[in-house]
Amino acid sequence: MDRREWLGMFGFLICGPALGCKGYQYGHIIKPDAPNLVGSHEAGAEVFDPLVDEAVAKLLARQQTVTPDTPCGPDGLPCPKTICFVGIENKSMEDIGDFKDKLYQQIDSRLLEASTFRAISRRMVDAALFETRLRPDSLMIPDNMRLFTAVLERNGAPLDYLLYAVLTSGTTTRNSSTQRDYDLTLELVNVHTGVTDKQSAEVRKGYHKTAAGKVWNYNPFKR
Amino acid sequence: MPEFVAESTSTYAPAVVPERGWFLARTIIDCIFASFACLLVCGQIGCSTHAKRLATPRNHFYDGRLDECKEGLEKLSKSRHDKDVVNLDLAMVDLLSGKPKISEQRLKLARNRFEALESESLTEKTVSMWTDDQVRSYAGEDYEKILIHAFLALTNLLSDGADAESYTLQLQAKHEELVQACAERTKSNTQPSYTPLPLGFYLRGMLREATLRDYDDAIRNYEATASLLPHCQPIQWDLNRAKHGTHSQPGNGVVYVFALVGRGPYKVEVSEQPTSDALLIADRIVSAVGPYKLPPTIAPIKVPDIALPPTDVDAVGVSVAGAAIGPTYSIADVGQLAMDSYRANRNAIVARAVARRVIKKATVAAAKETMKTDGLASVGMDIAGIAWEATEGADTRCWGLLPNDIQVMRIETPKGTPSIQLTPLRGGRPVGPSKQIDVTVIDGRNTYVLCWFPDARSQSQVITAQ
């Protein structure tokens, strides 16, 4: 075999697979303990998962505190509080797309796992909003709150608390780097007394146009 | 045939050298037959473009003869090169025949195929440099990829609506992806000129408002729609309602009338005359001063272009139970999107056509150099080269059954089965017969109606969600 034949065969071997390998996509299952992918343009699971964990944990810790006013059952243990998780308001800079419903389900599941709260089903909440045609942000008006709680109680779900989740963000820009602070605030309102409790969690994330941006802006010598 | 025996120092039989004149004659004959064969073979590829093959089914479609149109399209779909793009046309026929589920399946298939074909095949790219762009698999224009997602959302709304929201999110994501890809292709920091379709934001806002809960998402999306359509008053009403009002009053439902108006864009073959003239001058200069004699550029370079047929319908008037509500308003200018997205990619198409011509000329010049042809043989090869270039055709494959504009009208009405009348308008005046349809309005829920008015004379189609 001379050089030309050898080169031709070598070239075919290299190019041959490339001719047939267009347009494929590959996937794999990520293990539960593996870290999340960090989004390059928007917040993703790496931001929202710790936000939900921290905010809900703080709220549950505060609400588990027993005071002399806490109603207790015949066994002396505090009664679980009936809570209506109204929904998540996105007031941040980014559109969270399919994460909104996921966050709702995550928070709802965490609340259900705790014995502190007895959550009303989302479907009953939606049915009550449908029947009353009230906006979620107008439930704080006393007449609207009475109407909404009356509908839920009529459907067999007496209500103690309304829970709102609000997602906010703050953006700081420096040349080609940006820092965005994401806050998830859980606001719990007692429908009988109007007393509120608020817990929040924050995650800060940096976005950089160059690979060296992180090193340049967030190194120990910067302070 | 006289034979001349050459002396040889080897022990092999002496070489036989045929007469020079006989060899020349044979070469000329071979060139003539080669060019004729080239014409026959390449003619199958170059002469009949997709635009010509689609003309009859298009006419059937606009005449309202959907069955004949479907028959014609199914014949076209047997061709390997046409089947992906014909599938899109069949999706429109199925949608307007009242089969949104089948239409959705076709659109999903087309979406997946176009995504798979986004990375180019080296084989097809190479072969297309020797023939024309019609041998390449059609991966869809940017505007078609965006519209696939838009129509997926619309078809899903007309069936069960379970995935409509996902499709609207995909529509927005697709637009951003295409804008980024275009910027990378052109190595430019400036964004391409085509703007996102307001339709995607509007549909998402509409669906989020219909939850009676996610008004914040509805506001965000209506704001995005309003920024793209700053002069559209009904969008301002929608935004105001999302900010301060509710989806509907108790006892009322909402009817959304989506109108596909006008005849949409399609591709036609045009001659890129300035480039052809410049190439002719260039090849004459190279032939005059260089060592190679190139075939002249007589056949013009053919490229596809977007044609927008004239339309005599610009809106649809909506009446409910005899009371006039108003005309529909545009949320997706399909014609403008097609023009803008095509313009952003046109330079690449022309550059590819020029590169193809250069490769063909170089091939002919190299063949002449190798065979050391001159005189009649050289002329023969030039003729073969010209014939080879003349058989090129522009790739006019496209989604040919699109509307020119997608419009919408929102009507809040008491629950029941009201009768809705749809009238094609031009300049606010009726230009054709009305279509009447009864719809079921459910308390607190959306009902969707889709209608198509391609022009004042054509048969219009109306379907409602089941």
Mean pLDDT (chain B) is: 84
Question: Which of B124, B217, B244, B249 to probe by mutation at the A interface, max A CB count within 10 Å?
Answer: B217
Measured in angstroms, the CA of B11 and the nearest CA of chain A are apart by: 25
Which candidate, B85, B134, B68, places its Cα nearest to that of B353? B134
pLDDT number for residue B206? 96
Name the residue in chain A with its Cα closest to that of B215: A135
Do B213 and A129 lie within an 8 Å CB cutoff? yes
Which candidate, B104, B69, B150, places its Cα nearest to that of B403? B150
Q: Which among A15-24, A91-100, B76-85, B396-405 has the top mean pLDDT?
A: B396-405
Using an 8 Å CB-CB cutoff, list residues of chain A that contact chain B: 15, 18-19, 22-24, 86-87, 89-91, 95, 97-98, 100, 125-126, 129-137
Which residues make Cβ contacts (< 8 Å) with residue B95, sequence separation at least 6?
B103, B151, B154, B155, B158, B450, B463
In whole angstroms, give the CA distance from residue B287 to residue B345: 32
Burial class of residue B254 in the structure, from the number of CB atoms within 10 Å of its CB (0-12 exposed, 13-18 middle, 19+ buried)? buried
Angle between helices B50-62 and B83-96 (to 10 degrees): 0
State mean pLDDT over B369-394: 83
Is the ipTM higher than 0.90? The answer is no
In whole angstroms, give the CA distance from residue B344 to residue B358: 24
pLDDT number for residue B306? 92
Name the residue in chain B with its Cα closest to that of A167: B216
pLDDT number for residue B331? 94
Residues of B in contact with A18 (CB under 8 A): 122
Residues of chain A with pLDDT under 50: 16-21
Q: In one letter, which amino acid is A123?
A: R
User: Tell me: the pLDDT tens digits for B258-308?
Assistant: 999 999 999 998 988 888 888 888 888 888 887 777 778 888 888 999 999
**Tokens encoding A8:** 């031709």
Q: Residue-wise over B198-214: b if at least 16 C-beta within 10 A, else e? A: bbbbbbbbbbbbbbbbb
| Percent of chain B clearing pLDDT 70 (strictly above) | 87
Using an 8 Å CB-CB cutoff, list residues of chain B that contact chain A: 115-123, 166, 169, 211-217, 220, 246-250, 444
More confident residue, B310 or B457: B310
In whole angstroms, give the CA distance from residue A21 to residue A23: 7
User: Tell me: the pLDDT tens digits for A54-109?
Assistant: 999 999 888 877 666 666 777 776 778 889 999 999 888 888 888 989 999 999 99
Do A126 and B211 lie within an 8 Å CB cutoff? yes
